[in-house]
Structures are given as C-alpha cells and as structure tokens.
Amino acid sequence: MTAPPAPASGGSGGAGPFVDLHMHSTASDGSRTPAEVVRAARKASLAAIALTDHDSVAGLPEARATGAELGVRVVNGVELSAVEGETETHLLGLHLRDTGVLERALDELREMRNRRARQIVERLNALGVNVAFEDVLSQAGTGVVGRPHVARAMIAEGWAVDARDAFDRYLGAGRPAYVAKEQLSMRDAIAMIHAAGGLAVLAHPGAGGTRERIEALRALGLDGIEVKHPSHSSSDTARLRGLCEQFGLVMSGGSDWHGAADGPRTIGMMQVPADWLARQDAQLAALGRAPAA
C-alpha cells in the first residue's frame, strides 16, 4: 500500500497538518468539480477543507463522499453575500448541519442571481454585445450563475479576450453592463447560517476589519473571522487575530481557491493550522452542536 503524503510544513506557525477552510467548486464559480477539489486537497497534503461555494451547498455530498474515500475531512460550508450598511460583505457559513434548511433559503438567492444575470445580458445586448442568456446558463452548468459565467460566455463568442477584459470593459462596478446584486442583510445572513447549525464567519475583512465593526457584528451573532486570506497583509492578520481573542471569536482561514493550477492563489497556500479547526469544533461543542458527521 502506498503511504499517504507527508503533511505540508513551513511558515506561519511551523509544521502541519494544515487545513483550507475557504474553497470553491463548479457548484458556484470554481473551475474544479467538488471531487476534484478534494483530490487536489489530498495531493496538497491537507488534513481538511471547507467547501464554501457561493449561495450553494449542492457540491457538498460529492465532496464529502470523495473526502471519506481519500481520508480528507470535508467541512460543510457556504459563502453568502450580504449588505452591511451600504457595503457588500461576504459571510462564510461553516459546519452546517441542516443543509436542507439552508437550501430552501438559498433557492430564493439563486433566483435573485438568475434575475441579475439576465439583466446583465440585456444590458450587453443593448450595447451590441450579442451574448445569449442560455449560453451564460450553459457556462454555469449546475452551478450558481454569476458574472464570471457571463464573462466566459463573452469570451466564447469573441467579445472579450479574457475575464479581466470582460470585467474591465463591461461587467465590473461602474461599467456599462454592471447590475448591483439584490442582497441579504447581514443580520438575516447570520440567522440563516445559525438556523442550519453552522458558525457565521466574516470572510476576508482585510483593513475593514476594525474593532468597531467587529463589535457591531458580534452583537448580531457573528461567531468568527477569516484571519488568514491571500488578500490580507501581515498587519491585517495580526489585528484580526487580536480581535478574535478580544471578542471570543473563532479564527478561520483559507486560500479562496477557485481551481487555478497556479497563479496568486493556490490550494493550501495560507497554511492554516489544523488547531484552528479543532477550536471551531470546540466552539460548536460549547454551543451544544456536534460537528456534522
């Protein structure tokens, strides 16, 4: 029998094992299937991952089945978009137990995303960019439709060189085909995650993760902060870690990997200690919720 790969090591806290608690698959805007994500995690010697697709838990059964086969723990997750004041904020739901409860709430969010994608296509068509909504849905497959799928349809039809070109000229905020999202409130997003038995973790707050903001979100029921993320500076990471300690919040972290084989974001790059996941498990136990089996 072939021995399992040795755990990754080095940087930010010494030797592994490490985990990656922020990853995407073809169930939303990632380029790898849920099973492929887990296989990549195994290859990277990760002890555990969280699959956190945008507004979707559809990839979790496949990911968990592959994880059981390969010996990689898969944490049930999701990434929600919510409005905090006038600012769009991303919120991770980790350790979801009742995904059926969340699935029913996510159905409405998916319909909102479909409406938005259709409006974007209508704006593109009015600009002379002839992309069909059916082609956008085809790019999304079984995943939740979003602007990256519009960009892929544009590229396929020769209207953009690559995704950056599509966003820079048409799809980005302030560009002629941009349509703002219909959004959840942060209070409702946290409540959705709690109703599913999960922990609500503020995603990649960066420099915006101030004491005042975290204190206000803690009052709404926030459980944790994504401390380690590719977009964070070392000072961001240190400050957010301190705020977790101050407010009794769990720490989390991940690569926000969408499937690229190389580039600025690679699987496991944040070297998140497995101890952080153990602390999340302990927090669940303290709340009377065992981690999902």
> Higher pLDDT residue, 140 or 292?
140
> Higher pLDDT residue, 193 or 88?
193
Which positions ≥6 away from 253 have C-beta within 8 Å? 21, 22, 226, 227, 228, 229, 270, 272, 276
Mean pLDDT for all residues in the chain:
92
Tens digits of per-residue pLDDT, 138-182? 998 877 799 999 999 999 999 999 999 999 999 999 999 999 887
pLDDT at 258 over 80: yes
Which positions ≥6 away from 177 have C-beta within 8 Å? 120, 123, 124, 127, 129, 170, 171
Residue-by-residue DSSP string for 196-257:
TT-EEEE---GGG--HHHHHHHHHTT--EEEEE-TT--HHHHHHHHHHHHHHTPEEEE---B
How far is Cα of residue 151 from the mean position of the Cα atoms in its chain? 19
> Higher pLDDT residue, 189 or 288?
189
Tens digits of per-residue pLDDT, 53-74? 998 999 999 999 999 999 999 9
Band the pLDDT of 85: cuts 50, 70, 90: confident
CB 6 within 8 A of CB 46: no
Please report the domains of the chain, with CATH numbers, ordered by start residue.
18-106+184-286 (3.20.20.140), 107-171 (1.10.150.650)
| Dist CA 104 CA 200 (whole Å) | 18
CB 48 within 8 A of CB 75: yes
Percent of the chain whose pLDDT exceeds 70: 94
Which positions ≥6 away from 61 have C-beta within 8 Å? none
